[in-house]
Amino acid sequence: MDFSLTEDQTAVRDMARSFAADNLAPHAGEWDEKAYFPKDVYREAAALGLAGIYAGDEHGGSGMGRMEAALVFEALAEGCVSTSAFLSIHNMVAWMIDSFGSDELRADQLPSLFTMERFGSYCLTEPGAGSDAASLKTRAEMRGNADYVLNGGKAFISGGGTSDVYLVMARTGDDSAKGVSAFLVPSDAPGLSFGAQERKMGWNSQPTAQVLFDDCTIPARYRIGDEGMGFLFAMKGLDGGRINIAACSLGGATAAIKAAAQYVTERKQFGKPIADFQATQMRLADMTTNFAASQMMVYRAAHALDNNDPLVRQKSAQAKRFATDTCWQIVDEALQLHGGYGYIKDYGIERILRDLRVHRILEGTNEIMRLLIARGILKAVEDGTLAEAL
């Protein structure tokens, strides 16, 4: 098995690293403190092809794979986890339109999303439907032959109140997963409104708010795919979304490891650098080993998605569960190595810790990931395919 990157993959990763170092890392602390959404910087990233990484090139997407996307989000998150995470959400919106939308919808929506002239948000979670996404209550009803009318609300929406278009999962049929459909709702749609901006522990460089629908009317052509297909689209989106957010955790852990390794060689106690103490060396060894394991799981899941592996749901859940838990712990260890300075905002470690914490909750909580993984193993026992599932 070849674990090396191709020349093109290396070039894409290095380009994203350079962009992050020049445009994200110098400003990440200020954006976090001021809750500033850097639209101009996103558009610079889009000019490099990073707003439609794994969308087709017909309307301006980059046409790359999920492995390249993982490399990009890992590299960008080393500069700013929060900013990179929003870009991953925007990419998922663009990909879903490109993959499942009509030709008319794709031609109308994608070019301005790929340049980030317009920003996209994804709306699945509701106040009463988080981990149990299939129980969502937001409803869309056809009125006449030309319009859908939406009623309900979505919670914890990144870009809420700021984005230009919202990809919304709403119920058009019965209470099962097969009763869910997907729609695009432009920000100027009548009946669309937003809650107050949430005050959050982390992810402060991206706005978050409820998205509310009160007889919100949209043209029928803004439905994505057929009625009843929305939950299938959402699950396919989550396979990739879990890999993306795990990759963002890798980037945050990378920044923390680099900062800690540099700090312990400079900080002296008892007459010598704390890097000389065995306890410090053991910590660094465990941090980097756990990082390598996380990285391999994320890359394996991205490879599985690129190659239509039938176990991709299992592998993406494993990668998301392990990498987001483990990378948060790595950053916590980096903070500990900094001592009291790690608790100070000027050093940046506490911001990474806050930003990575939510990764263990979104795209399906890590408790849900464990259930998905266990169900896959138990099904393999029933099917007699356990060896292949491990």
The model's pLDDT over 240-297, given as tens digits with 9 standing for 90+, comes to: 999 999 999 999 999 999 999 999 999 999 999 999 999 999 999 999 999 999 999 9
Two tokens, residue 173? 């049929």
> What pLDDT is recorded for position 1?
65
Two tokens, residue 2? 């070849």
Q: Catalytic annotation on 363?
A: yes
Does 328 have pLDDT greater than 90?
A: yes
Q: CA angle at residue 55 from 83 to 85, to 5 degrees?
A: 15
Find out if CATH 1.20.140.10 is the number for domain 231-389.
Answer: yes
Is the distance from CB of 97 to CB of 106 less than 8 angstroms? Answer: yes
Give the Å distances, CA to CA, from 166 to 88, 120, 122, 182, 212: 15, 6, 6, 10, 11
Q: CA angle at residue 308 from 303 to 314, to 5 degrees?
A: 75
Phi first, then psi: what are they for 384, rounded to 5°?
75, 25
Does 131 have pLDDT greater than 90?
A: no
Residue 133 pLDDT level (bands cut at 50, 70, 90)? confident
> What pLDDT is recorded for position 389?
87
Q: What gap in Å lies between CA 390 and CA 385, rounded to an integer?
A: 9
3-state class of 80 per DSSP?
A: coil
- Residues near 108 by Cβ (< 8 Å), separated by ≥ 6? none
Domain ranges, ordered by start, for the chain: 7-118, 121-226, 231-389
3-state class of 186 per DSSP?
A: strand
Strand ranges for 70-127 from DSSP E: 120-123
Pair type for strands 165-171 and 120-123? parallel
Two tokens, residue 358? 């939510």
H or E stretch including 149? strand 147-158
> What pLDDT is recorded for position 132?
83
> What pLDDT is recorded for position 244?
98
Point out the catalytic residue in the list 227, 363, 382, 388.
363
User: What are the tens digits of pLDDT across the range 57-80?
Assistant: 999 999 999 999 999 999 999 999
Query: What average pLDDT does this structure show over 319-333?
Result: 98
Q: What is the pTM of this model?
A: 0.96
Return the minimum-mean-pLDDT range out of 2-11, 292-301, 329-338, 356-365. 2-11
**Which percentage of the chain shows pLDDT scores above 90?**
95
Q: Among 42, 47, 50, 49, which Cα is nearest to 23's?
A: 42
- Measure the CA dihedral 12/17/20/22, to 10°: -110
Q: 7-118: CATH homologous superfamily?
A: Acyl-CoA dehydrogenase/oxidase, N-terminal domain (1.10.540.10)
Query: What average pLDDT does this structure show over 136-153?
Result: 94
Q: Among 1, 42, 64, 34, which Cα is nearest to 345's?
A: 34
H or E stretch including 214? strand 208-219
User: What are the tens digits of pLDDT across the range 110-120?
Assistant: 999 999 999 99
> What pLDDT is recorded for position 145?
83
Q: What gap in Å lies between CA 177 and CA 215, rounded to an integer?
A: 23
Neighbours of 44 (CB within 10 A): 15
Exposed / middle / buried, residue 25 (Cβ in 10 Å: 0-12, 13-18, 19+): middle
- Residues near 130 by Cβ (< 8 Å), separated by ≥ 6? 155, 365
Q: What gap in Å lies between CA 106 and CA 95, rounded to an integer?
A: 10
**Which percentage of the chain shows pLDDT scores above 70?**
100
Give the architecture (CATH level 2) of 121-226. Beta Barrel (2.40)
Q: What gap in Å lies between CA 57 and CA 61, rounded to an integer?
A: 4
